[in-house]
Structure 1
């Protein structure tokens, strides 16, 4: 058992888990682009079964009313909890917003797309458990490594519960944004474990550290703004407005999101500028990749708006953003952790 749980295997499990989370984020984006988020109206099952039905004939005649009543009952319980915690506006929105109570018709393609999304989530659950088990072999070396393994497991369970609320509230934007931020938190925690286990060294440079921290902090609001823009696009997706006219209906969040991206690009270029002076290959290469990713994400955003929001480009734009966050966080850790 000790031979099995060694640093090499632990890092392999950790890397696979991290990669799987990134894949899940990509799959989740595809689900949203296809409007398949409510392909399964219940959770964790899909239309009351562990495998989605292949035709509407397998469903009861009043299936929409049945699942609507189930969601309303769950939302009422959630609303009571939120109300007791002081979130009256959110509580009222969950219970009174007509959009939350709309029930979608069965679509076999959307059901299976959402089902695959959930299967990837289950796979990640098993990988997270393995990651936690392997982390205990490092308890004598550092108590923080197994502690992080436990926290990632608890976060995964919590994330699954939030996923059920996303379904019960009919893809309410606030829950989707929170769901996305939790996924990024999981990515950050897995990267932290990877860096800590490998005991990677740093290059001490005052300006690199300041710029890295500042750019990472600045990028969080950019992600939130992006999810707000994504919410507007989700509404347009179910409207009668053609994709070529979507740009005319974008909110203020889009214009702030677009302009804000220049701050991130400036931060990435400054990191690369100072990194070149260090003669540290890992730092130069990582910062160069960061500049490329930021520039690619900006170009993808421009093409989306000018090109009528092509379906394939929206998930790519998101995964580029996640890549930017991952590299920024990795750089920040390498700039402050000692060997």
Structure 2
């Protein structure tokens, strides 16, 4: 039987894991804001910013020849912009804070699950390793002056970290979802995996389109923003058209899944959210295409896409709740006593 102290440790771990997941989504949103405002090179070096631990608030705090010093980082003809510098720096601080959250999640997993469910500990440690690699990769993005393929890899790794943390958080609550486990037809399992893969591809393709936006914006400037879309080329139109394929693949699993599961539960609620979020996602894409890519729509568009992917992964995990359940939870009486908040 599980002791009261261990149940308390598990409850604390679940809350911390949920907070960590939410903070990573926030970081993705902030990262989108950094890109949409052109703040990616607001700090031309890493981990310091203009050689300082606390960034400058005025150009007078920089050497007179700062453009020459950082010319190899794209500053040859760029004027210091305090807003862009602090936007990028706050993004870095949030990333560091999330690194602390993930480390605390790993530490809490050892205390709560080392004897009871070691895969939770293992995947928590994996998340910690991945966030460290993500920090190193962020430094490489800066040193490469925002290389397109590195930005795409940076985005992919962020999504992987979200997936690992969602797995950890959901596995820690699998004993709750095992009761009245949601069922689905074989075709639903097949299409939810296919649609998730297509959505991931669409997100990564979107980062490539975003790179093209940066190039066009640099060439035309803000004064000709209305011309940006027409200059984006074939990848933009592929990205836009492919959204219909993504939508069709989503409906292929959502509609039969909701018809088969009329009772309200975590999985059906998430599936319903996916429908709404996809419609909003398409709307923000249309706004960008027809209204000159407003800066506010870009981070919202990206965060919604990653949220949809995260919700789908949660549905998949809930469908496999029995397989996530370790042997130590097989005792029904023990599961009933583990009364903890759900995701």
Q: Which TM-score band (shorter chain)?
A: 0.7 to 0.9
Q: 1: CA distance between counterparts of 2:76 and 2:275?
A: 43
Q: CA deviation at 1:284?
A: 2.5
5 Å matches for 1:1-339?
A: 2=5, 6-68=9-71, 104-136=78-110, 137-199=112-174, 200-201=177-178, 202-205=181-184, 206-241=186-221, 242-275=224-257, 276-282=259-265, 283-338=267-322, 339=325
The question of whether the paired residues in 2 share the 8 Å contact of 1:271 and 1:287 is answered with no
Distance of aligned partners of 1:44 and 1:2 in 2 relative to their CA distance in 1, 3 Å threshold:
farther
SS in 2 for 1:290: helix
RMSD between superposed Cα atoms in Å = 2.0
The question of whether the paired residues in 2 share the 8 Å contact of 1:265 and 1:291 is answered with no
Number of residue pairs matched by the alignment? 310
With normalisation by structure 2, the TM-score equals 0.85
Q: CA deviation at 1:2?
A: 4.8
Q: CA deviation at 1:68?
A: 4.4
The question of whether the paired residues in 1 share the 8 Å contact of 2:195 and 2:246 is answered with yes
With normalisation by structure 1, the TM-score equals 0.86
The question of whether the paired residues in 2 share the 8 Å contact of 1:18 and 1:187 is answered with yes
Instruction: Provide structure 2 residue ranges, at least 5 long, that are not aligned to the other structure.
Output: 326-343
SS in 1 for 2:320: coil
SS in 1 for 2:219: coil
The question of whether the paired residues in 2 share the 8 Å contact of 1:5 and 1:134 is answered with no
The question of whether the paired residues in 1 share the 8 Å contact of 2:67 and 2:75 is answered with no
SS in 1 for 2:276: helix
SS in 1 for 2:220: coil
Q: 2: CA distance between counterparts of 1:60 and 1:265?
A: 52
